Amino acid sequence: MSGNYATETVLADTDGIARAARILRDGGLVAVPTETVYGLAARADSDEAVARIYEAKDRPSFNPLIVHVRDVEQARELADLPHTADVLADLFWPAPLTLVVPRKAQAGLTAAVTAGLDTVALRCPDHPVMQALLAACEFPLAAPSANRSGFVSPTSAAHVAMTLSGRIELILDDGRPCRNGLESTILAVRRDNSWEQLRPGPVDLDALHRHYWDGPIDNAPPSGRIEAPGQLASHYAPGKPVRLNATEVASDDFMIGFGDVSGDCTLSGRGDLSEAAARLYACLHEGAASEKPRIAVAPVPNEGIGIAINDRLRRAATPPDQ
């Protein structure tokens, strides 16, 4: 059980960001908005601070964290970027794209950040608050999603408070839901420049590859190791059974609709996948808070960002013991 802290929510203005930087410098925890979901930030070079992330989230120690950096230059201080990763970072960062790359031995990151692996997950976030916080810190920030491990990810300050109030010092609130609403795409780039997608997300790797490179993506076969967040079979769980691809609703279902299938709440009445991604976790939070014992979700096309939506829904529907 994490220690008891008087968690405060403050505006993500200049004063709030400066206060957050001071807390982080002293080894504390701050929830901060990004373009994907809210992250739980701590300094990535401190054993004690990173241990507090795992404690506050009840996160298993074998599940690595994403390290957020200001820019490509800071990433190069922490990792040996294979050529393809270096090109991708130059072209696309800041973006909801995490690169799992070989870690530098002298990077100064605490071992718990990478769960003892020789790789590190790096991301340059595309959000003014997170970028301002990184600029105010002379150290990189480890920042997994700001929720209890395995539960629905937070896309608002209120979502963070639901599970982490009393466990962290501060929540920065910019007053808006997170823009993308889904965690970043995670791409492992090996030393031989082969690709392996570890988690689908807002960045469509197939489209990216077709636009910038010839030929198919040369993905390595899955290694079976947990190298990055979001790879556990059961994740993003609302705490009650979830039924997928539902076109009819039962009386005890909280129905999440999409397109022509209406519901108690709707991902997108017009069938827009980007809107559905942005609203997914808000709808799951609403279903979790409802009095109905089950959640049913309408079919979502498995294309574009719909692939990432269905990935999260499958994990939300998988019982925790699997």
Together in a domain, 167 and 287: no
Residue 220 lies in a domain: no
The burial class, CB within 10 Å (0-12 / 13-18 / 19+), for 231 is middle
Q: Facing residues of 280 across strands?
A: none
pLDDT tens by residue, 216-272: 454 444 555 677 766 666 677 899 999 999 998 999 999 999 999 999 999 999 999
The residues with which 102 forms a beta bridge, in sequence order, are 119
pLDDT at 62: 82
Q: Is residue 226 part of a domain?
A: no
Kindly state whether residue 140 falls inside one of the protein's structural domains.
yes
pLDDT of residue 182: 96
- Asked whether residue 268 falls in the same domain as residue 151, the answer is no
Asked if residue 192 belongs to a domain, the reply is yes
Same domain, 91 and 153: yes
279 and 201 part of one domain = no
Which of 195, 212, 229 marks a domain boundary? 212
Answer yes or no: is 3 within a domain: no
Q: Are residues 168 and 264 in the same domain?
A: no
User: Are both 84 and 147 inside the same structural domain?
Assistant: yes
Torsion sign across C-alpha atoms 144, 31, 173, 282: positive
Domain boundary among 212, 233, 251: 212
Q: Pairing between strand 30-32 and 170-173?
A: parallel
**Is the alpha carbon torsion for 130, 133, 138, 142 positive or negative?**
negative
Count the domains in the chain: 2
Residue 188: is it exposed, middle or buried by C-beta count within 10 angstroms (0-12/13-18/19+)? Answer: buried
CA distance 230 to 226: 9
298 and 152, same domain (yes or no): no
Token couple for 207: 């489209």
The per-residue pLDDT for 221 is 47
Residue 237 lies in a domain: no
Rounded to whole angstroms, the Cα distance separating 55 from 144 reads 13
pLDDT > 70 fraction of the chain, expressed in percent and rounded:
91
User: Going residue by residue through the chain (322 aa), what tens digit of pLDDT does each one get?
Assistant: 456 889 999 999 999 999 999 999 999 999 999 999 999 999 999 999 999 999 999 988 888 999 999 999 999 999 999 999 999 999 999 999 999 999 999 999 999 999 889 999 999 999 999 999 999 999 999 999 999 988 899 999 999 999 999 999 999 999 999 999 999 999 999 998 888 889 999 998 877 776 666 544 544 445 556 777 666 666 778 999 999 999 989 999 999 999 999 999 999 999 999 999 999 999 999 999 999 999 999 999 999 999 999 999 999 999 876 5
Q: In terms of domains, do 109 and 43 share one?
A: yes
Domain that holds residue 296: 242-317
Provide the pLDDT for residue 194.
Answer: 83
Residues 40 and 80 in one domain: yes
Do 93 and 190 lie in one domain? The reply is yes
Same domain for 133 and 172, yes or no, is yes
The CATH number linked to 207 is 3.90.870.10
Let me know whether 183 and 274 are in one domain.
no
Q: Rounded to whole angstroms, how far apart are CA atoms 19 and 26?
A: 11
Residue at 88 is within a domain: yes
pLDDT of amino acid 195: 84
Q: Let me know if residue 1 belongs to a domain.
A: no
